[in-house]
Amino acid sequence: MIYLDNAATTKPCSEAAEAAVKCASRCFGNPSSLHHMGVEAEKAITSAKKTLLNRLGKEGEIFFTSGATESNNMAIFGIAEAMKRRGNRIVTTDIEHPSVSEPMKKLSERGFDVISLKPKDHTDLERAIIDAVDEKTILISFMAVNNEIGFIIDTKKVYHGVKRKNPYCAVHVDGVQGFCKLPLYGDTISLSGHKIHCFKGIGALYKNKDTRLLPMAFGGGQQGGLRSGTEPVELAAAFEAAVKAYPENVTVFSALRHRLTGHLEGLNRIIINSPENGIDNILNFSVLGVRSEIMLHFLEEKGIYVSSGSACSKGKIGSAPDAFGISAERADSAVRVSFCRNNTEKEIDILAEALEEGIKRFRR
C-alpha cells in the first residue's frame, strides 16, 4: 500500500499509540477527581499542553478539543460573541476549510459584516488582509496552509501587520496543515492531531492570554470553563507523543516533491496547481483529459491512495479552486498527492508509472 493522502489524514505513529495505551492502563483517571488518579490524569493533561506550547514556541493557553473543526468553531464564535460590542466586521478568505467558512456564513446571517478575500484577486494576499482590517474589525480568520493545493499565507506578516493597524482585532489562524511544518503566529490557532500521526478525534486550540473568548458549549466547566467536558486524557497523551515524535525539520518532503514534479514534467498535459512556494508536502496537479475520480479509483486498484476534488465525488468541489483561479475543467481532473515523513522516492516512482498508465488508458 502506498498512502499519499496525508493531507486528509495520517497513520497514527507507534509513539502515539503506545502513549495512549500506557495512559489507558495506568493514568486513566478523570482530571477533575480529587483523588490520586485524578491528580495523575491532570498532570498528563498539563504535560501535554506544555509540549504543544513548546512546539508552537509560545506562552499562553492550550485547550484540548475533539478536533480542529471544534477548535475553529470555538475561536470564531467565541471571539465574535466576546467582541461584538467593539465592532461587527470580520475578515476571512475564500479558501478556508468548511469548519471556518460555515461559521462565517452563520455569523454573516446573524448580522456580522464578513469580508472574504480571493487569492486570485491579490498578488499580495497578506497585504490585502491587513488592508481590509479597520477599526470596526474584531476578528480575522485565515489558514496558514491551504489543504487543497498547499498555498501558504505568511502568518507572521499578517499577525504583525494587523496588530499594528488595530491591536484589538483578534487574529485566528487555522494551523491544521501548518503545525509542526512552519512557525505559526496568531492570537488563537487551531491544531489537529490526525494530521501529524496522532488519532482522529483530538485537536487543540492555542489562545493568547489576553485574547477574550466566550464559551459556546456549556457543562462541567473544565478547561477554564471555555471547553467543558472531561478532558481527553488518553488522546492528549497520544497527541503529545506525536508532537514529540515529529522531527523539527522533515527534509524528505522537498526531495519527494522534487522527484514527483520531475516525473510530471515528462508527462503530457499536466498542470501543476500548487504554487512553487507552496508547502513541500502537498502537490496538487491536473491530469487534463482524465476525470480525477476515475484516476483515483484506478490508482487505488494498484494500492496507491491519493485525493481528488472532482465534482462527482463524495469530496465535493468547494469554492477554493475558483478562488485560486483554477477552472472547473482543471479542478475536475485535479489529483492531490500529500506526503508524510515515511514516504519514499521509490513510492513516488511507482506513482508516476501508474499515472502514465492511467493517462494512456483513460485520457480522451
Q: Which residue, 37 or 294, has its beta carbon nearer to another protein?
A: 294
Choose the binding region for another protein from 61-69, 77-85, 106-114, 287-295 (rule: CB under 8 A): 287-295
Alpha-carbon distance values, 275 to 143, 210, 232, 278 (Å): 16, 35, 37, 5
Q: Which residue, 35 or 316, has its beta carbon nearer to another protein?
A: 316
Can you read off the three cell numbers belonging to residue 132?
Answer: 481590509
Output the smallest distance, CB 297 to another protein, in A. 3
Choose the binding region for another protein from 108-116, 170-178, 276-284, 288-296 (rule: CB under 8 A): 288-296
Choose the binding region for another protein from 61-69, 106-114, 306-314, 333-341 (rule: CB under 8 A): 306-314
State yes or no: residue 293 binds another protein (CB under 8 A): yes
Q: Which residue, 26 or 297, has its beta carbon nearer to another protein?
A: 297
Four-CA torsion 249, 253, 258, 264, nearest 10 degrees = -160
Considering only 113, 301, 329, 345, the residue that binds another protein (CB under 8 A) is 301
Considering only 267, 312, 346, 357, the residue that binds another protein (CB under 8 A) is 312
Q: Which residue, 70 or 293, has its beta carbon nearer to another protein?
A: 293
Choose the binding region for another protein from 186-194, 204-212, 294-302, 325-333 (rule: CB under 8 A): 294-302
Burial 184-211 (b: 16+ CB within 10 A, else e): bbbbbbbbbbbbbbbbeebbbbbbbeeb
State yes or no: residue 314 binds another protein (CB under 8 A): yes
State yes or no: residue 297 binds another protein (CB under 8 A): yes
Output the smallest distance, CB 294 to another protein, in A. 6
Active site residue 198: no
Give the integer Cα–Cα distance in Å for 86 and 170. 11
Considering only 298, 306, 331, 338, the residue that binds another protein (CB under 8 A) is 298
Q: Which residue, 134 or 301, has its beta carbon nearer to another protein?
A: 301
Q: Please pick, among 23, 169, 180, 312, the residue that the annotation labels catalytic.
A: 312
Alpha-carbon distance values, 362 to 6, 34, 299, 300, 359 (Å): 26, 64, 12, 15, 5
Give the integer Cα–Cα distance in Å for 103 and 160. 25
Give the integer Cα–Cα distance in Å for 261 and 231. 43
State yes or no: residue 21 binds another protein (CB under 8 A): no
Long-range contacts of 256-264 (CB under 8 A, 24+ apart): 256/280, 256/281, 256/339, 256/343, 256/344, 256/345, 256/348, 257/281, 257/283, 257/339, 259/345, 259/348, 259/349, 260/337, 260/348, 260/351, 260/352, 263/348, 263/349, 263/351, 263/352, 263/355, 264/352, 264/355
Three-state secondary structure readout of 212-276: CCCCCCCCCCCHHHCCCCCCCHHHHHHHHHHHHHCCCCCCHHHHHHHHHHHHHHCCCCEEECCCC
- Count residues near another protein (CB under 8 A): 11
Q: Which residue, 214 or 311, has its beta carbon nearer to another protein?
A: 311
State yes or no: residue 360 binds another protein (CB under 8 A): no
Q: Which residue, 130 or 335, has its beta carbon nearer to another protein?
A: 335
Binding string, 54-93, against another protein, x = CB under 8 A?
Answer: ----------------------------------------
Residues in contact with another protein by CB under 8 A are 293-298, 300-301, 312-314
What are the residue numbers of the active site? 312
